[in-house]
Amino acid sequence: MRTLEWNPKNNSLTMIDQRRLPEVLEIVSYRTHTDVAQAITDMVVRGAPAIGASAAFGLALAGFESAAQTPRDLFAAYQAAANILKAARPTAVNLAWAVDRILVSALASDLPHADDLRVFVLAQAQKLADEDVEINQRMAAYGAELISDGDTVIHHCNTGALAAVDWGTALGVIRTAWEQGKKIHVLVDETRPRLQGARLTAWELSQYGIPYEIISDNMSGYFMRTGQAQKVFFGADRVAANGDVANKIGTYMLSLAAHDNEIPAYSVVPTSTVDLSLAHGGLIPIEERDPAEVLDIRFQGERVTPLGAKARNPAFDITPNRLITGIVTENGVVYPPFEINLKKVVKQ
């Protein structure tokens, strides 16, 4: 099943509520663009490609919500909805990319009737979602070539089908390598504080039958130092023009340990995640989330932090390009110098 799908029976967007996994597989439904924006903020849906597709369908919902009778008035409603959707999560560039792509197409469509524009925008959102699946599978084919039979791979956060419309990015690579018959093992970073690795990646690997073990984020260096891991794979929420990668917090430390142990570290992203307008990662906005995500963690049913404690909670960090071995895209694997080679694959 897809992580998110349009329901034509009642013009709604259905998606897996990722907050309930692995205990409960719950499907939720949304009828308004503001509810979709809130779902993105609350991480009902997460992962850069999935966020982009959700926002695209959120834009389509705005059209059906609006009472506009002319294409001009309806386009104004789309623009207002776009601003709300873009603000939902600022670090993931796919969100703004998806919304802007549909707005540009809608503006150029020059359709005579508002209802024609509504149908057109929905079709564009569906096209974007379908393309995401095909792009993921192309990335997976390139990335699987980097995994050898017998490898143990460290994976950070969740980058599987749940993080996309279907299949996934970095975890999609691992899944493809497994389906090719390669005997691989995955060490799954818990990915604190929201534990996307322990909750979501482990759940997906269980569905595929791929052997795995969950480790806390601070164990990765040990397994690399002792020769128990051969590759590192993760996704990205935005990649700057020079190859600096913004990804789930903890990626920087993981990449540092990989670099120190001469273990290749790969980021797997669609070219829509590459932001050529930003020269380096220092220009990428970093979302800081509610400290309660850190403070409310419990161990064996008991609170682990003192009452009144304060916390910081950046959701992402920047991994400098010097720590990245290669960036896997749907147009091939990009190697340094990233400043030159990323432009080439994006233009393809």
The string of pLDDT tens digits covering residues 221-274 is 999 999 999 999 999 999 999 999 999 999 999 999 999 999 999 999 999 999
Q: Any idea which residue has 């091939």 for tokens? A: 332
pLDDT above 90 (res 91): no
pLDDT one-digit tens code per residue, 322-334: 999 999 999 999 9
As a whole number of angstroms, the distance between CA 45 and CA 38 comes to 10
pLDDT above 90 (res 289): yes
3-state SS string for 253-311: HHHHHHHHCCCCEEEECCHHHEECCCCCHHHCCCCECCCHHHHCCEECCEECCCCCCCC
The Cα-based distances of 231 to 184, 186, 258, 293 in angstroms read: 11, 10, 8, 29
pLDDT above 80 (res 92): no
Please count the other Cβ atoms lying within 10 Å of the Cβ belonging to residue 64: 16
What is the H or E stretch that residue 342 is in?
A: helix 338-347
Cβ(343)–Cβ(241) under 8 Å?
yes
What is the H or E stretch that residue 132 is in?
A: helix 114-144
- What is the DSSP secondary structure assignment for residue 49, as one 8-state letter? H
Mean pLDDT of the chain: 95
Nearest to 160 by CA among 319, 3, 341: 3
Q: Any idea which residue has 């095909």 for tokens? A: 134
Cβ(197)–Cβ(189) under 8 Å?
yes
pLDDT value at position 105? 94
pLDDT value at position 94? 86
Residue 346, burial from CB neighbour count under 10 angstroms (0-12, 13-18, 19+): middle
Q: Any idea which residue has 């910081």 for tokens? A: 312
How much is the average pLDDT of 112-141?
Answer: 95
pLDDT value at position 90? 83
Give the lowest-confidence range in 83-92, 129-138, 333-342: 83-92
Cβ(189)–Cβ(215) under 8 Å?
yes
Of residues 174 and 112, more confidence is placed in: 174
DSSP 164-222: SSSSBSHHHHHHHHHHTT---EEEEE--TTTTHIIIIIHHHHHHHT--EEEE-GGGHHH
How much is the average pLDDT of 176-198?
Answer: 97
pLDDT value at position 214? 98
As a whole number of angstroms, the distance between CA 153 and CA 229 comes to 6
Residues 6 or more apart in contact with residue 46 via CB below 8 angstroms: 18, 40, 158, 162, 163, 196
Residue-range domain boundaries for the chain: 4-137, 142-347
pLDDT value at position 47? 86
As a whole number of angstroms, the distance between CA 130 and CA 52 comes to 12
Do you find a cis peptide bond into 112, omega within 30 degrees of 0?
Answer: no
Question: At residue 150, what is the residue type?
Answer: G
Beta bridge pairs of residue 6:
13
Please count the other Cβ atoms lying within 10 Å of the Cβ belonging to residue 27: 12
Beta strand 212-215 with 185-189 is parallel
pLDDT value at position 218? 96
pLDDT value at position 26? 96
Q: How confident is the model at residue 110 (pLDDT cuts 50, 70, 90)?
A: confident
Do you find a cis peptide bond into 337, omega within 30 degrees of 0?
Answer: yes
Q: Classify domain 4-137 at the CATH topology level.
A: Four Helix Bundle (Hemerythrin (Met), subunit A) (1.20.120)
Which entry of 132, 166, 217, 237 is annotated as an active-site residue?
237
Given CA atoms 144, 15, 59, 317 in this order, what sign does their dihedral have? negative
pLDDT above 80 (res 21): yes
As a whole number of angstroms, the distance between CA 134 and CA 70 comes to 35
How much is the average pLDDT of 48-66?
Answer: 94
Our measurement of the distance from residue 265's CA atom to the centroid of its chain's CA atoms, rounded to an integer in Å, reads 18
pLDDT value at position 309? 97
Q: Is 237 a catalytic residue?
A: yes
pLDDT value at position 48? 86
Question: Domain 142-347 maps to which CATH number in 3.40.50.1970, 3.90.1150.10, 1.20.1600.10, 3.40.50.10470?
Answer: 3.40.50.10470
